[in-house]
Chains A and B, each alone.
Chain A
Amino acid sequence: MLNEKPSLKSSAIALLYLLPMLVISITFHIYPIISSFAMSLYTKYDFYTDKVGGLGFDNFVYLWNDPDFHLAVKNTLIFVIAVVPITVILSLVIALLLNQIKFLSGFFRTIYFLPFVTSTIAIAMVWNWIYHSDYGLMNYFLGWFGIHPIHWLTDPNYSLLALIIMSIWKNLGFNIILFLVGINNIDDGYYKAAEIDGANAFQRFWNVTLPLLSPITFLVSINGVIGSFKVFDEIFALFQGTPGPGKADLTIVYYLYQKFYTEYKYPVAAASGVVLFFLILLVTLVQLWYSRKHVHY
């Protein structure tokens, strides 16, 4: 079956199988992407009648000159740089620990996975309470170490950190599961061979586990980068429909949302989406290039 030469008939059958997904992808992904690229170039545009007055780069010039957009890019980059590495390292550590204990590991796995299946709104409500400056758990714990109450949600200096902490916590569960799968897929023979060669626990981890986990690490980090660049609902829920105190949590997608839904500047919103697209593309390409050298399949 697999060795059959592709014929017109077999190609047609293949196409038929692909058709449903293709229809869905084209209508809900490809077409919107193309139209938002086009919309980002519209200058005098009536959204409702689809009348385009002219084409040009005015919207990108607007973004270039808008201090809010600069802030959004800055906040997004800080968010990505903080969230992705910490999430990857933490979930790897937790996965390794979970792999060590057989007792109750299923229980812990469930606990860590819960945030992933819980709705963001519910999570944000709980964190809203955790972060409360008067009676929140966070300040209560910090109080044990003599740290004065922090206004997590109303102080512009801390609110991005608050968002980062919540997002890391929320992302852990899924990544832990991925790492656990990866760890379990490593053949025991490698460890035995390493042991015979006299490798200690750290050497076994550094020279066996880490290289053989690299495909999973790569997957987790690519996923994390893309997801973190697109952060929106966490902000919307944690700061109750505002981009944080003093716009401290304004990200690119939040900026896009504001331009589209409250300021009715549709082409500007589309242009910020295009910028986001290329930012993600650039970072992903860098990651791919890096993976060529360092990921072992």
Chain B
Amino acid sequence: MIQKMKKNCLGKVLLGALTVSLVALLTACGAGNSNSSTSDKSSGDGKVTTISFWHGMTGPYQKALNEIISDFNKSQSQYKVVGTAQGNYTTLQQKIMAAAKSKSLPVIAQTTYTTVPDYSKQGFIEPLDAYMIDGSNKLTSADLKDIYPAFLNSSKYEGKYYSIPMSKSTRIMYYNKTLMDKLGVKMPTSWEDIQKIGQQIKSKGVAAVGFDKSFDMEFEGLARQAGNPLVSPKSFKVNVDSKKSLEAANLIMDMVNDGTAKTAGEDIYGDKNFTSGKTLFYAGSSAGITHMKQGAPKDLEWGTMPLPSYKSEKATELAGNDIVMFKSATADQKKAAWAFMKYLMSKPVTAKWAELTGYVPLRKSALEDQSFQDYLKKDPTAKAAVDSLPFGFQSTAFVGFSEYRNDLLTAVDAMLTKHESTRKALGTLQNQTETIIKSNQ
């Protein structure tokens, strides 16, 4: 009797397992089907074209994006955007890879502009020129002038536009007003000032400037201020260990080594060192303002400003994600996708997006927007990022960029944790980067 019951149980468990796997298979197939069927139905005559949009926005950012998507869907009756949050950027990237392999890519997806060369080499993504520059729904030349050039530049690869900017932040400088008053420090305007302040307050146990765990973005910014990008656009000449880049790396590493600068190490982000008064300034992302507001003690008065100049040059790296359109979509879907992309870049929408998320607006004219002006007045910490936009830059993207970025982070890490000299670490990186670029040509 007991034997029999056991067998029955086992049978049920097996049956259950089989059912679960079957259901999983069926739903997977079902999802695939629904994707293609919507595209079939959507040929003109009053029918709605549905497009799928994968993104990596979570928490308040996801809420803001959903609001914008629903605004778009209500603003017209031809197109419907269905947004799907795929977790963070890393998982989003992995899902795009898996979807590309199984031929089930969405119509559009968020991705970093640095993956564009890889995606375009694999033939996944559609150039946008036919919609953006030509076509019936194109951007006017006034529009193109209005969008910050750094964003347009990073959207371009081999002479064609492949992406539109979306969630963008800049590197800015946070300052601890309370501590500055206490130490009698004046507001710096240049890295040279900061070096001086560093020497001045070293004896008081405070480092002048804090960085995140890695200072790769500040390094690239300083290299540009010194006179060269790490990789030249178009020619893809690698300047990682050039005299100017070394000068930039030395400036940071000298400060780190003599205690006037501090990297975040195990804290990952430099805000902890900053709010606990270990560093007077903090060079970080403008996307961290929300975090800073939560983390800073109430009696600490802090503010933001654009990154200081170096040799009277200004530069700040823009980070964040773009949106790309996949080739596998139908012509109708692509048209719908472009309509949504254009909507996202329009003046009121980009201003609203910036207000809701703290990302920067994509257009200069968004600054004239009344509600955006009110927002800046209400929240002055958001102003530094916007003020940084005119001298913002983005790294040169090339095939194999993510491998290069791994190596860049390794090089910075080697300087910090293995105490490798800047010349050695950047020399290695120079060779690695040249190999990557050569092997992918």
Chain A residues at the B interface, C-beta cutoff of 8 Å = 17, 20-21, 23-24, 46-48, 128, 131-133, 151-156, 240-242, 245-247, 258, 261-264
The answer to whether B417 touches A156 (Cβ under 8 A) is yes
Stretch at the interface among B14-22, B27-35, B135-143, B346-354: B14-22
**CB-based contact B417/A154 at 8 Å:** yes
Query: Is the pair B118, A264 in contact by a Cβ cutoff of 8 Å?
Result: yes
Is B371 at the interface (CB under 8 A from chain A)? Answer: no
Contact A240 B265 (CB under 8 A): no
Which A residues are in CB contact (< 8 Å) with B400? Answer: 263-264
Residues of A within 8 A of B406 (CB): 258, 262-263
Interface contact B402-A262, CB-CB below 8 Å: yes
The secondary structure that dominates the A interface is loop
Which of B78-86, B94-102, B293-301, B379-387 is found at the contact surface with chain A? Answer: B94-102
Q: Are B266 and A132 in contact (CB under 8 A)?
A: yes
Binding site for A on B (CB under 8 A): 11, 14-15, 17-18, 21, 90, 93-94, 97, 100-101, 118, 122, 124, 265-266, 268, 400, 402-403, 406, 409-410, 413-414, 416-418
Give the residue of B100, B122, B268, B418 whose beta carbon is less than 8 angstroms from that of A246: B418
Q: Which residues in A have their C-beta under 8 angstroms from that of B17?
A: 20-21, 24
Q: In the complex where A17-B14, A262-B403 touch, is A153 in contact with B414 (Cβ < 8 A)?
A: no
Q: Report chain A residues within 8 Å CB of B14.
A: 17, 20-21
Q: Which residues on A sit within 8 Å (CB–CB) of B101?
A: 47-48
Contact of A245 among B18, B21, B413 (CB under 8 A): B413
A48 to B21, CA, bound (A): 26
* B350: min CB distance to chain A, Å: 30
Q: Which of B90, B266, B409 is in CB contact (< 8 Å) with A153?
A: B266
- A247 and B410 contacting across the interface, CB-CB below 8 Å: yes
**Knowing that A24-B21, A245-B413, A246-B413 are A-B contacts, what are 10 other residue pairs whose CB atoms are under 8 Å apart, sorted by A's residue number?**
A17-B11, A20-B15, A21-B17, A23-B21, A131-B266, A152-B266, A154-B416, A155-B417, A261-B90, A261-B97
| B contact residues around A246 at 8 Å (CB) | 413-414, 417-418
Please tell me if the beta carbons of A261 and B266 are within 8 angstroms of each other in the complex. Answer: no
Partner of B18, one of A20, A47, A152: A20
Report the bound CA distance from A219 to B11 in whole Å. Answer: 28
Whether the Cβ atoms of A240 and B410 lie closer than 8 Å is: no
Cross-chain contact A128 with B266 (CB below 8 angstroms)? yes
Selected from A20, A47, A152, A245, the residue in CB contact (under 8 A) with B417 is A245
Chain A residue with minimal CB distance to B263? Answer: A154
B115: nearest chain-A partner, CB-CB: A264
Whole-angstrom distance between the Cβ of A248 and the nearest chain B Cβ:
8
In the complex, how many angstroms separate the beta carbon of B441 from the nearest chain A beta carbon?
A: 15
